[in-house]
Chain A
Amino acid sequence: MSDLSKVRHEMLPDLPPPENTTGPVGWMRRHLFSSVTNTVLTLFTLYILYILLVPTIDWAFIKADWFGETRDACTSGGACWVFVTTRFSQFLYGFYPEELTWRINLAFILLAVQLVWLMIPKLPFKGIVSVLVLFVYPVVAFYLLYGGSFGLDVVETHKWGGLSLTLVLAVIGIVAALPFGVLLALGRRSEMPIVKSFCVVYIELWRGVPLITVLFMASVMLPLFVPAEVTFDKLLRALIGIVMFQSAYMAEVVRGGLQAIPKGQYEAAQALGLNYWKMMGLIVLPQALKLMIPGIVNTFIALFKDTSLVLIIGLFDLLAIVQAGLTDPKWLGYSVEGYAFVALMFWIFCFGMSKYSQHLERHFHTGHGSR
């Protein structure tokens, strides 16, 4: 045996890392004070946070007034949340008759139950629930919200408003745009030149213009396009504009999903003798739709935020109804409270959905959900 030979027969035990690299002190040393620059940066950021956050918290919570009837209830010098709490039901339901708001609640509870059902991976009957959401629920929701049958009184759409209107616009916008989006995406990938160019032009046209011009168009030009005796409700006009606009964006999401399906899947389907529509309907779209969910959620977030634009054509969504409340002479000067409330509502929805979509993306990315 040469002098190079070394053998270890006893294994060394696991030791804890040195004190100064672990625990809160080690963590701070590594993440906050690793160098002079970092220390300066940390202290500076702390200072900025201090001068921003302390007065904000003081204003919004500590010195705030929460309940009352009029602005006289606001005496503490902080935020006057009374403005929000007294009008809370108007912010949620608009001018919908108060005794009928259970219909809105029921419609949204039904939707929420179905969506949660679809989002929890372990529950069965996903297919049936999807069909319910896409085909049965819209009819039910229409009669619940609008009425006119089953003994439900008609509630004209000009009475709709607030958060519920925002949700109605966004949900209908997305659900109605989905089938158009699928058709446009298939058309864009088609080998038929006329079909393809028609779809490309349609998609690029709508994606190239701001939503606001589309809404203007829907509100001033749509009535010109139809015979004079046909009249459109304002909400319906906005919805037509939103769906036309949104289907172009949806088409791009669907196209992305279709591109992610490997060529082998198409070839295998063709080799089994499936024709185009069967290949798409049975093999490609079911796989692609699953991959599209994060993209669809992201488009939904964008649309959800964009619905606030309808205030420009005179619909009372959440932002518009708060804006209207702020011009009430009795409540002048509480715009920060009003906007903070709207911002919080939008933020909770958008942030929640974006976290969900990121979760899905990671899920697909690691391959757990790809089959």
Chain B
Amino acid sequence: MQNANKSPSSRVPEQKTRFWHDPAKRALAFQILLVLVVVGFVGMIVQNTLNNLESRGITTGFDFLSQQAGFGITQTLIEYTESSSYGTTFVVGLLNTILVSVLGIIVATALGFLMGVARLSNNWLVAKVASAFVEVFRNIPLLLQIFFWYFAVLQALPSPRKSIELLDTFYLNVRGFYMPQPVPQEGFGLVWLALVIALIVSYLVIRWNAKRQDETGQRFPAYWTASGLIVGLPLLAFLVSGAPLEWDHPVLKGFNFRGGMTILPELAALWVALSIYTAAFIAEIVRSGIEAVSKGQTEAASALGLSQGKVLRLVVIPQAVRVIIPPLTSQYLNLIKNSSLATAIGYPDLVSVFAGTTLNQTGQAIEVIFMTMLVYLTLSLLVSAFMNWFNSRMALVER
């Protein structure tokens, strides 16, 4: 109480906050310091790099992209010869990465959903087998799995002369899986046309069915009708137009097959390994997504008289999908990033062709690594942008 006579209000204006005690100024100083350190560090690296490059006689810049590459690539989706440029090797590698990623995503999704649902089966044996699948394949390094399929399984296949034959049209040997390539002849356009028509009609049928249900309450199996249309109409067109399709069969010439389509063993090994490894993770995501829908939801829906199938379709799946999609997309992203392991078995993906061969031949480490990382970064950013959009659109409305 001795201080009571000192009026606190009279002292306030005299109090000056010391610089270091003002949180705003402190934060500012700290951030300026951080910027200085980062800029200094980066500057040092750039300086060192320039010195090192100069002493090694490497010129910086992206001019090398237009130089002639001079090496062959085993699988090219666009036209490529040894006289193509390094820039083309980048595109070829990128396309091969995209090819194996898309193939992997399709199979991994199908297998993963199957295994995830199987883990929840009320059949004990099925659930245990699915769970063993998940536990075995997600706990073994992917690279090892790729090696296993490539070196232990595919390299053990017979030579082209002793190929395993299937129906005299498919050949499996150590150089790959050979199959006939369809070559559309004149008039095949009709089949494409029929497919387009079938797709449009199916879409209309499904919409008309939904509208009819809204108005009369009656439904008919529109999805089966649509599936029938999409398969049947092109088939009909194909037969009517006189089957205008020829097959280019692979033929053994000398030590190898010519013609037809080939799946290289490198692609097959990578595809199988990526699909199985990622499927194990997807199965877990699917299982926990479905389990996240509370038992009360299923009970309430059944209590209303909905059949098992409708409980799943109208109540469980719409809710599970919200939980499943975000981690699923990040698994897709992992698969794309993991496809870079291609380089270990020589599948010509982006890292193998560009960050491998091209880097070694040109020595343009900075530019090449920068471009490679940029590709993966762009993909990641696109996917995270999609995820954010999806989450905000699908979020359940809460108080």
**Residues of A near any B CB (own CB < 8 A):** 31-32, 34, 38, 41-42, 45-46, 49, 191-195, 198, 204-205, 207-213, 216-217, 220-221, 223-228, 301, 305-306, 308-309, 311-312, 319, 323, 326, 335-336, 339, 342-343, 346-347, 350-351, 354
Contacts and interface: CB of A to CB of B under 8 A. Distances in A.
B372 A213 contact: yes
B181 interface: no
A306 B141 CA distance: 7
B142 A198 contact: no
A31 B123 contact: yes
Contact of A212 (B121, B123, B340): B340
A343 B351 contact: no
Nearest to B142: A305
B377 A209 contact: yes
Contact of B369 (A211, A217, A308, A343): A217
Contacts of B386: none
Contacts of A207: 380
B369 A220 contact: yes
A305 B27 contact: no
11 contacts: A32-B123, A38-B122, A42-B123, A42-B125, A209-B373, A217-B373, A227-B48, A305-B139, A305-B141, A336-B152, A339-B147
Q: Closest 9 A-B residue pairs measured CB to CB?
A: A208-B380, A350-B139, A31-B124, A210-B337, A305-B141, A194-B31, A210-B340, A208-B377, A308-B141
Nearest to A38: B123
Contacts of B125: 31-32, 41-42, 45-46
B359 A195 contact: no
Interface stretch (B49-57, B238-246, B389-397): B49-57
A49 B129 contact: yes
Interface of B: 27, 30-31, 34-35, 38, 45, 48-49, 51-53, 55, 121-126, 129, 135-136, 138-144, 147-148, 151-152, 155, 337-338, 340-341, 343-344, 351, 355, 359, 365-366, 369, 372-373, 376-377, 379-381, 384
B366 A224 contact: yes
A194 B35 contact: yes
A364 B138 CA distance: 24
A301 B141 CA distance: 10
Main secondary structure of the interface of A (DSSP, over half): helix
Most A CB within 10 A of own CB, among B35, B359, B365: B365
B366 A227 contact: no
Nearest to A49: B129
A49 B130 CA distance: 12
A347 B27 contact: no
Most A CB within 10 A of own CB, among B48, B129, B143, B355: B143
A210 B143 CA distance: 13
Contacts of B38: 198
A223 B144 contact: no
Given A38-B122, A339-B147, A346 B141 contact: yes
Given A31-B123, A335-B151, A228 B340 contact: no
Given A42-B123, A224-B53, A228-B52, A213 B340 contact: yes
Given A335-B152, A351-B135, A319 B147 contact: yes
Contacts of B138: 350
Contact of A41 (B51, B126, B376): B126
A57 to B, nearest CB: 15
B139 A194 contact: no
Nearest to A336: B152
Nearest to A333: B156
Given A42-B125, A208-B381, A192 B141 contact: no
Contacts of B337: 209-211
Given A49-B129, A326-B151, A336-B152, 20 more contacts: A34-B122, A41-B125, A46-B125, A192-B30, A205-B377, A208-B381, A210-B337, A211-B337, A213-B355, A216-B372, A220-B369, A224-B49, A224-B53, A227-B48, A228-B55, A301-B139, A335-B148, A335-B152, A335-B155, A343-B140
A204 B380 contact: yes
Contacts of B152: 335-336, 339
Nearest to A347: B139
Most A CB within 10 A of own CB, among B144, B152, B359: B144
Contact of B34 (A34, A42, A194): A194
A224 B45 CA distance: 8
Most A CB within 10 A of own CB, among B125, B135, B142, B359: B125
Most B CB within 10 A of own CB, among A195, A209, A228, A312: A209
A311 to B, nearest CB: 7
Nearest to A166: B141
Contact of A319 (B35, B144, B373): B144
A141 B30 CA distance: 36
B368 to A, nearest CB: 9
A220 B376 CA distance: 19
A31 B122 contact: yes
A140 to B, nearest CB: 29
B366 A210 contact: no
A51 B220 CA distance: 42
Given A309-B341, A319-B144, A326-B151, A224 B48 contact: yes
B369 to A, nearest CB: 5
Contacts of A220: 359, 365, 369
Contacts of A343: 140, 144, 148
Contacts of A195: 30-31, 34
A212 B141 contact: no
A351 B340 contact: no
A56 to B, nearest CB: 12
Contact of A228 (B51, B129, B341, B355): B51
A42 B126 contact: yes
B144 A339 contact: yes
Contact of A225 (B30, B48, B139, B151): B48
Contacts of B27: 191-192
B133 to A, nearest CB: 11
Contact of B338 (A46, A191, A210, A342): A210
B136 A347 contact: yes
Contacts of A311: 143, 344
Contacts of A32: 123-125
Contacts of A212: 340-341, 343, 351
Contacts of B142: 305
A213 B376 contact: yes
A205 B140 CA distance: 27
Contact of A309 (B45, B143, B384): B143
A49 B125 CA distance: 10
